Structure 1
Amino acid sequence: MVSEPTTQLGIIVLILVVGFVSQLIAEKTEIPSIVYLLSFGIILGPEVLGVINPSGFMSYLEVLVALSVAIIVFEGGINLDLRELRHLSRPIFGLVTVGVSVTFVLASLITFLILDLGLAVSMLFGALITATGPTVTRPLLRQIHVEEDISSLLDFEGVLNDPISALLAVAVFSMIVSGGLSLTGLHNFVAHLGFGIFMGLVGGFGMVYFFKLADFDERYIRFSSIIFALAIFISADYFLEETGIMAIAIASIIVGSHDFRHKEAVLEFKEDVSIILISIIFILLPSLLGFNEIMSIIPGGIIIVLLILFLIRPLAVYLSTLGSSLERNEIGFVSLIGPKGVVPAAMATYFSLQMNDGGTILGLVFLTIIIAVIFTGITANRLAEYFDVIPMEMVIAGGGGVGGTLARRLNNRGENVVVIDQKEELGEELRKEGIRYIEGSACNKKILEEANLSRTKYLVAATNDDEANLMACQIAKTKFNVDEDRIVARVNNDENFEAFEDLGIRSMNPDLSSAVMLENLIERPEIFNMMEIGRKGDIVEIEIQNEEIIGKKLKNICGPGIEKCKVFPRESLIVLVKRKEKDLIPHGDLEFQKGDRLTILGKEKAVQEAQKIFQEPQKE
């Protein structure tokens, strides 16, 4: 007879296998894996196949959920960098204050009116579904490619809303247990919130200080990051229950906003661990759900969920982003992306075990999670296309020496880069650095469609095969209507230059270009020491996109990085302004016009700072 530990271990292995399969299917179908994880959890649970019996896991399910929440929230926060997101401070603050408040009040109200659960229980449901959760948004954003600001905004909302939702739910639950609504619950919420933030600040800065001082091997840094994350979570919960989520969220954002040795290794390790834990949790928790608990709240429950998704969420986002720099299309997209994650599921499970009518809350929360995740997972890509929040990308054919180096440089500059190559090992390296990689031939129309070539900013044909480069350029021009001034190519054989010129494609030869660069290093050493060849500086040519700059004089422009609208980034210089067919030498009284193209030279960071002034609207 098989022992119980062996049976449970076998189920865990099965869950991991199912999680792995779900990830593979998700990658092929471009539908987030959580849709499949939830489906498999229900199918494998007692209500269908009965393979997974949650009663066998109840003794340590709460510990497993707590561990998972700590690691998942930490993984979500450590990928965020406050230094790069100051211009999003207003909508972020709005979503975690106004957004949470509007969602809580309106969701509680419609639940009370439609299902007549009682005001306190309705408020508990309203508190639980204010969370959007990194457990869903992060995997979702990995599989759809939207503008970086939108992705960061949804990330921040998810990381911060999870602990706020948990604390709000605990405050409401304490009022239910005490027998009625009172100021005690509000006091508990404020106290828990404040203590969680305090513990997060202490733990986060402590972790940063340790990582900067520690002279450890990469593997020890990864291991110690797990220890720190769990220690912060458990310490906060030990002193004041249910504050661990807030503490770990704040700590992770602090760590993500600082640089330290082996940071990339920590990020990569956390992401792998997080994927495993998400697979386990989203298969185990749905198996707790009974169909009776769902059927008892239909059709009222479905009406509530639809109102939350298509009325309350859009209204909350709209009110949260009033006066922000977000465009209407960006607000529209964010308003329809509001999936619920593991925190409301875990908290609902916990409360249901301690309430007489807990099954109703559990069923309603899971119904919300299932509908929201499935809707968001299936429609996210289409919504991104409809609201035009998919950024124009740099498509590079060939990820070898030249193409790979170019991809990394453009990626570091903040461009959205897609690399096409047929070598699997190249893909592994580039994906680790956050660069999107498509395995296949750039001469294949379907591969180019997958790279979204019709929306490309530039196509760079950089393989070591001139025939392949020429073919990719031809397909781009004829099949995807890419203008020839947005196509550049590498020519490996000088004899093939003419073929590219006949097609109207700008091209270069690496050997010849290297010789020219070496010649300039000899004859013009000072300027080339400052430029890319010395890795100390940069030179870019950009078109003015910030409409607030148009009509202003050079001496009066202001934006990110400019002190009191007077001081231009000191280590950068506008060396040329191209206006239609004219080349203008810039001076203080030069008034910028629409369509002006600027050439900016200087130190790399200063050039990036100056570039933002002309390409981003001013942020308050």
Structure 2
Amino acid sequence: MHDYELLALSAILLTGMGCQWIAWRLRLPAILFLLLCGIVAGPVLGWLRPDHLFGDLLFPFISLAVAVILFEGGLTLKFQEIRGIEKVIRNLITVGTAITWLITAVAVRWLLGFSWEIAFLFGAIMVVTGPTVIVPMLRTVRPKEHVAHILRWEGILIDPIGATLAVLVYQFIVSGAEQAEVLASLIVFGKILVIGFVLGGSVGYLLGSALRRHWVPQYLHNFTALALVCGVFALSNALEAESGLLSVTVMGILLGNMKDVHIDEILDFKESLSVLLISMLFIILAARMDMAAFVGLGWSSVAVFAVIQFLSRPLTAQISAIGSKLTMAERHLLSWIAPRGIVAAAISALFAIRLEEAGYPEATHMVPLAFMVIIGTVLLQSLTAGPIAKWLQVAEPEPNGFLIVGADGLARAIAETLQKNGIRTIVADQSWENIKAANMQGVRTYWGNVVSVHAENHLDLSGVGGLLALSASNDLNALAARYYRLEFGPGNIYTIRNRQSANRIRQDKVAIQHGGEPLFEESLTRDELCRLLAAGAKMKTTPLTGDYSYEAYLRQNQNQRIPLFAIDPGKRAYPVTGGSTLSPRAGWKIIGLSRGTVPAPGVASAVRPWPDAVG
């Protein structure tokens, strides 16, 4: 009876998963593939009909999904991130909003012949960018810290601002622009602000206080946060239409900046949920698009997109950055990135329906025009922002490096060898003697507790994408592995075995539980590696060629050179672990520990030669 609904929902989820995976493999924003699949499944083939599938629940589902995404975005906004760039963000969401609104409205009026009312409404909708498109793009482009923070803050804050502006313009249109109704629109604006800040701030503070005092069991943290977000959004909209986005954004920002409130698990859950919702939303909204109306807009719609991309955004960014410390290169990149996303599509569809019922037939053109701008900005910026960032030299280096916990002789030897092979490393230790020795060897250092608030604020992790926990403390290693699990991902965290004993199995279980894979072969404990180094063993790098394979390396250097890392031609290092399935090929390098004349425990063997060893 419900076969179509079941198949359609399952297909949306599977397609979204597939698009995300393809985007990860190709290092392109997933939105490109999600939009393409939605268009093919919907207007092209007619397989997916969102209005039939969801019925009256379509727009409530879209609204709740956007609310969850904005709340998750608010959780990631930290006030310490914007020191020195506050004015730029303020200008972008105030002066920049006005500039984008007016330029877009005039362009739509002159190029497409829309009435001034519809033109100004569409201009208000187009001021939004949003985390649904900004955050995935930032993962791919990886701009420098200031630009990334500005774009993320703007994208999250501009959504409720754009939605509120669109509501005010809509109220102005349906009221007939009478003086009394203009005053009523200003009252609506005031109510949205009051409800958003009071309701969102109050619930955010109460939730933070409950988490801080452990009034909510840990297993209910995620469910409680999700339920409160949905409840705040619904109540806020019931009190005043379209105020819910502001409420959940304020709630997320306040909760994310409260002291002594641990939200890592909530943030992890919400990030996963956001990926799911973004995937579904783009497919569903793209499937609703009317291709005939889209094509019927003609080249004038392309001209509107060009005005937004090449006039409105550069002017907005350059004016907003006046008086800031941003370099010209950073300002140019800021002028290029401003993709439109889900909120623009959802709001345009919602107000198009309302205005068409109110006697404005041209309002139906807002939806295909909005998709024209969304597809244009996402496609152009996704494909070009990365190369432009590298050309302007404002892109962070590839996150191929390692943060190394500990800075003793073993950690310094590994860091120095990786660094010589082009792998970015930074060692962290609370021992000044160890840090001083690392500095003398030219290794980047951090002096302090790697899991402290100071480290969170001052430890520069640019170019770093993995963790090597090499300290003598099992507890510190496990804590660091758990602390940086969200930062680097569980698959990029490795912890060393500190001793070979009856407790080894328990130590390995702890490491895996906290996201760290046991490092190196099982027999290579930290004690054994330190013993070998103290006895004169050296780190050696050996290149692999067509004539000298990894298998030949292992055969020829058995018991003499222990492989620790494999480095591919792209300068990405892979630790050799007990369960490693690496298959290095020609062009790779192997970092191994050369025993030299140091015998293995209980073994007295001669040194065997190896070809082309690089010290």
Distance 2:403 2:256 in 1: 32
Pick closer, same or farther for the CA change 1:117–1:258 going to 2, 3 Å. Answer: same
- 8 Å Cα contact 2:542-2:613 kept in structure 1: no
1:100 aligns with 2:67: no
- 8 Å Cα contact 1:46-1:53 kept in structure 2: no
Distance 2:257 2:396 in 1: 24
Pick closer, same or farther for the CA change 1:312–1:196 going to 2, 3 Å. Answer: same
1:381 aligns with 2:386: yes
Counterpart amino acid of residue 163 in structure 1: P
How many Å apart are 1:100 and its aligned residue? Answer: 0.6
How many Å apart are 1:399 and its aligned residue? Answer: 8.2
How many Å apart are 1:335 and its aligned residue? Answer: 1.1
**Aligned position for 1:155:** 152
Q: TM-score scaled by structure 1?
A: 0.68
Pick closer, same or farther for the CA change 1:475–1:206 going to 2, 3 Å. Answer: closer
Pick closer, same or farther for the CA change 1:357–1:475 going to 2, 3 Å. Answer: same
Distance 1:193 1:296 in 2: 39
Distance 2:228 2:304 in 1: 40
**Greater alpha carbon shift after TM alignment, 92-101 vs 148-157:** 148-157
1:470 aligns with 2:541: yes
How many Å apart are 1:193 and its aligned residue? Answer: 3.1
Distance 2:316 2:61 in 1: 33
Deviations 1:553-598 (A, max 9, x none): xxxxxxxxxxxxxxxxxxxxxxxxxxxxxxxxxxxxxxxxxxxxxx
Counterpart amino acid of residue 369 in structure 1: I
**Greater alpha carbon shift after TM alignment, 257-266 vs 58-67:** 257-266
**Greater alpha carbon shift after TM alignment, 142-151 vs 85-94:** 142-151
Distance 1:173 1:315 in 2: 26
Deviations 1:260-303 (A, max 9, x none): 45411111000001111111110001111111211222111110
- 8 Å Cα contact 2:402-2:466 kept in structure 1: yes
Deviations 1:139-193 (A, max 9, x none): 2222332222221111110111000101111111112212247634344334423
Q: TM-score scaled by structure 2?
A: 0.69
**Aligned position for 2:266:** 266
Counterpart amino acid of residue 203 in structure 1: V
Deviations 1:329-367 (A, max 9, x none): 111111111011111111111112122223201111111
- 8 Å Cα contact 1:419-1:437 kept in structure 2: no
Counterpart amino acid of residue 321 in structure 1: A
How many Å apart are 1:469 and its aligned residue? Answer: 5.7
How many Å apart are 1:56 and its aligned residue? Answer: 3.0
Count of matched residue pairs: 467
How many Å apart are 1:439 and its aligned residue? Answer: 7.5
**Aligned position for 1:124:** 121
1:414 aligns with 2:460: yes
**Aligned position for 1:434:** 487
How many Å apart are 1:392 and its aligned residue? Answer: 4.5
Deviations 1:192-213 (A, max 9, x none): 2343233222222222222212
- 8 Å Cα contact 2:118-2:363 kept in structure 1: no
Distance 1:346 1:178 in 2: 23
Pick closer, same or farther for the CA change 1:430–1:255 going to 2, 3 Å. Answer: closer
- 8 Å Cα contact 2:93-2:158 kept in structure 1: yes
How many Å apart are 1:406 and its aligned residue? Answer: 4.7
1:214 aligns with 2:261: no
1:331 aligns with 2:377: no
Distance 1:91 1:232 in 2: 30
Pick closer, same or farther for the CA change 1:366–1:409 going to 2, 3 Å. Answer: same
1:67 aligns with 2:72: no
- 8 Å Cα contact 1:418-1:438 kept in structure 2: no
- 8 Å Cα contact 2:405-2:467 kept in structure 1: no
How many Å apart are 1:429 and its aligned residue? Answer: 7.1
Pick closer, same or farther for the CA change 1:190–1:313 going to 2, 3 Å. Answer: farther
Pick closer, same or farther for the CA change 1:187–1:141 going to 2, 3 Å. Answer: same
**Aligned position for 2:370:** 365
**Share of identical aligned residues, percent?**
26
- 8 Å Cα contact 1:72-1:135 kept in structure 2: yes
Matching residue within 24, 27, 33 for 1:36: 33
Deviations 1:501-553 (A, max 9, x none): x9997xxxxxxxxxxxxxxxxxxxxxxxxxxxxxxxxxxxxxxxxxxxxxxxx
- State the secondary structure of the residue aligned to 1:45: helix
Pick closer, same or farther for the CA change 1:238–1:397 going to 2, 3 Å. Answer: closer
**Aligned position for 2:473:** none
How many Å apart are 1:244 and its aligned residue? Answer: 0.5
How many Å apart are 1:475 and its aligned residue? Answer: 11
- State the secondary structure of the residue aligned to 1:266: helix
**Aligned position for 2:304:** 304
How many Å apart are 1:85 and its aligned residue? Answer: 2.1
In the TM superposition, 1:2-401 aligns within 5 A as: 3-4=1-2, 6-180=3-177, 183-184=182-183, 185-354=185-354, 355=356, 356-392=361-397, 395-396=400-401
**Aligned position for 1:512:** none
How many Å apart are 1:231 and its aligned residue? Answer: 2.0
Pick closer, same or farther for the CA change 1:436–1:88 going to 2, 3 Å. Answer: farther
Counterpart amino acid of residue 378 in structure 2: V
**Aligned position for 2:441:** none
- 8 Å Cα contact 1:107-1:126 kept in structure 2: yes
Distance 1:322 1:40 in 2: 41
Deviations 1:372-402 (A, max 9, x none): 1111221121122122122346754698996
Counterpart amino acid of residue 385 in structure 2: A
How many Å apart are 1:55 and its aligned residue? Answer: 2.8
Distance 1:418 1:13 in 2: 33
The alignment's C-alpha RMSD in Å is 3.7
Distance 1:329 1:76 in 2: 26
- 8 Å Cα contact 2:401-2:465 kept in structure 1: yes
Pick closer, same or farther for the CA change 1:259–1:143 going to 2, 3 Å. Answer: farther
**Aligned position for 1:483:** none
